């Protein structure tokens, strides 16, 4: 059941909210929590009910292991249980996500003909696997607080973040679930949450899906063996960069908005990453909760930057390679992760050569800032080719066309009179307008929201933009309502979110 569907908007969401708040004011808190768990499981099993068996078994097993680790952390038996729990979670993820990838790789290397298995990846498995691993590690370290089973189930299954994040930490949401005041209707939560949801829906339906019309035909043609023209290649690359940006930004806004409708603030997961002035800053703004997990539960345990520059760069590269593989079972995703690992290594090495961190140096001027953002965006765009391409052959075909290796073909499959203004308008939104969090800033739209100046790398939101920040008033209600009505008329072209496939 997609967030951008009539079934969800007019059926599931209103029904869940009405029952939840009716229960919240009449019965003990646990009953309302249990309703949210049941509704979230119903949501998860909507398309494939058999997946409920898997998530149910994982919930019981991981809660039991976490409870044991909370009482036996630091012991030899505790270490064995932790290792077994992590291995079991990764084993389930590996079976569903990587079995056919391994079969294809073995067939390619050996010339074999092993048949592919008929395996369908359960939605959200990559996301809630990381949540459960983090919970087990923290239980072993004594950082969990003896949560009961309903707390744990809601932490894992809460439907706004179940399918594609953010990857929430138990310490962020379980205390909110346990706070009685958050279970009563609140006008501010409702207005902020609904505005966030509508903003996200608009980004997905009106912007991201429109950009897909330029990107998809060219990437599909490259996958079929055709050579796109020079112009088609760059238009498709730009369009896909914007499509993915607004698709994920839209989902993130909708997830935060849905959480807020129930009085829950979820962590920020997307913060204008194309405004980043270097690749490190990009990963602090893009899929922020994934970056946090990879840092805290992979990069730092590997040694982080504590064992010299060679070990640091090796840890960075390994972390990003595994992060790429997490995104998809294919060598193109491994190369995408490897490119970002290389970018990070080069950036940290350059920073070391120059001496000190960026925060210790004066901020760049306007021209310098634009140059850094442009260079970072170009590096990210080129890596997106591997992320989007159906296979390595398609990626090579796209890059060859974009760099004129097959000749400088200036033909274009699109009407440039419509295409260039559309791309230009989207670019202006990306780089000139405040993001949703900045627009709603005074109402703390996310759990870990920072002030606009801090969130934008020290560049304050201009005064004229601050004057147009959102507030609960009739003019904004009418404007947001107009956006909502227009967006709802476009839902006949329902499309999945890109990150659902991970």
- DSSP secondary structure, 444-476, as one string: --STT---HHHHTTT-PPPHHHHHT---SSHHH
Note if the bond before 166 is cis, omega within 30 degrees.
yes
d(CA 469, CA 437): 10
Q: Which of 158, 177, 159, 184 is nearest to 22 (CA)?
A: 184
- DSSP secondary structure, 57-75, as one string: HHHHHHHHHHHHHHHHTTS
User: Please, are residues 96 and 125 in contact by the beta-carbon 8 Å criterion?
Assistant: yes
User: Please, are residues 67 and 129 in contact by the beta-carbon 8 Å criterion?
Assistant: no
User: Please, are residues 449 and 268 in contact by the beta-carbon 8 Å criterion?
Assistant: yes
- Contact partners, residue 295, CB within 8 Å, separation at least 6: 319
The dihedral sign for the CA sequence 180, 183, 188, 189: positive
- DSSP secondary structure, 13-78, as one string: HHHHHHHHHHHHTTS-HHHHHHHHHHHHHHHHTSS-TTHHHHHHHHHHHHHHHHHHHHHHTTSHHH
Helices 125-140 & 149-157 angle (0-180, nearest 10): 140
327 belongs to the catalytic site: yes
The conformation of residue 121, written as its DSSP 8-state character, comes to P
Burial of 18 (0-12, 13-18, 19+ CB in 10 A): exposed
d(CA 286, CA 268): 10
- DSSP secondary structure, 415-444, as one string: -HHHHHHHHHHHHHHHHHS--HHHHTGGG-
d(CA 438, CA 443): 10
Q: What residues pair up with 286 in beta bridges, in sequence order? A: 270
Q: Which of 327, 340, 347, 348 is catalytic?
A: 327
d(CA 349, CA 372): 16
Chain centre distance of CA 295 = 16
Q: Which of 284, 289, 291, 283 is nearest to 252 (CA)?
A: 289
* Catalytic center residues: 327
């Amino acid at each position: 059941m997609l967030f951008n569907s009539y079934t969800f908007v007019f059926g599931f969401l209103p029904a869940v909210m009405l029952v939840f708040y009716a229960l919240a004011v009449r019965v003990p808190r646990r009953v309302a929590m249990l309703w949210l768990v049941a509704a979230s499981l119903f949501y998860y099993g909507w398309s494939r009910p058999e997946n409920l068996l898997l998530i149910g078994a994982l919930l019981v097993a991981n809660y039991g292991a976490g409870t044991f680790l909370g009482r036996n952390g630091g012991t030899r038996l505790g270490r064995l249980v932790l290792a077994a729990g992590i291995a079991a979670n990764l084993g389930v993820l590996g079976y569903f996500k990587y079995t056919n990838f391994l079969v294809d790789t073995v067939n390619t290397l050996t010339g074999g003909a092993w048949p592919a298995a008929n395996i369908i990846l359960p939605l959200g498995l990559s996301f809630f696997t990381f949540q459960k691993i983090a919970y087990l590690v923290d239980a072993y370290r004594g950082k969990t607080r003896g949560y009961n089973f309903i707390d744990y189930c809601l932490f894992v299954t809460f439907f706004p973040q179940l399918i594609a994040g953010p990857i929430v930490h138990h310490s962020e949401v379980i205390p909110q679930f346990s706070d009685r005041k958050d279970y009563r209707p609140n006008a501010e939560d409702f207005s902020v949450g609904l505005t966030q949801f509508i903003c996200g829906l608009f980004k997905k339906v009106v912007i991201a899906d429109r950009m897909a019309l330029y990107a998809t035909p060219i990437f599909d043609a490259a996958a079929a063996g055709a050579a796109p023209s020079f112009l088609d290649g760059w238009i498709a690359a730009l369009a896909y960069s914007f499509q993915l940006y607004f698709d994920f930004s839209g989902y993130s806004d909708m997830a935060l908005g849905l959480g807020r409708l129930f009085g829950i603030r979820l962590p920020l997961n997307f913060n204008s990453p194309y405004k980043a002035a270097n690749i490190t800053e990009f990963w602090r703004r893009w899929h922020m909760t994934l970056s946090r997990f990879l840092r805290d539960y992979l990069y730092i345990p590997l040694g982080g930057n504590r064992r010299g520059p060679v070990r640091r760069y090796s840890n960075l590269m390994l972390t990003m390679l595994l992060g790429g593989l997490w995104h998809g079972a294919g060598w193109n995703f491994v190369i995408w992760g490897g490119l970002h690992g290389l970018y990070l290594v080069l950036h940290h090495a350059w920073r070391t050569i120059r001496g000190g961190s960026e925060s210790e140096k004066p901020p760049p001027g306007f021209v310098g800032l634009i140059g850094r953002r442009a260079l970072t965006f170009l590096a990210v765009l080129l890596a997106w080719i591997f992320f989007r391409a159906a296979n390595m052959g398609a990626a090579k075909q796209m890059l060859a066309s974009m760099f004129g290796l097959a000749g400088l073909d200036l033909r274009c499959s699109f009407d440039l009179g419509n295409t260039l203004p559309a791309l230009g308008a989207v670019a202006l939104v990306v780089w000139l307008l405040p993001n949703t969090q900045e627009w709603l800033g005074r109402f703390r739209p996310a759990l870990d929201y920072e002030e606009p100046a801090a969130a934008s790398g020290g560049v304050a939101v201009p005064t004229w933009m601050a004057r147009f920040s959102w507030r609960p008033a009739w003019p904004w209600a009418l404007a947001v309502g107009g956006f909502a009505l227009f967006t709802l008329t476009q839902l006949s072209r329902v499309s999945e979110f890109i990150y659902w496939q991970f």
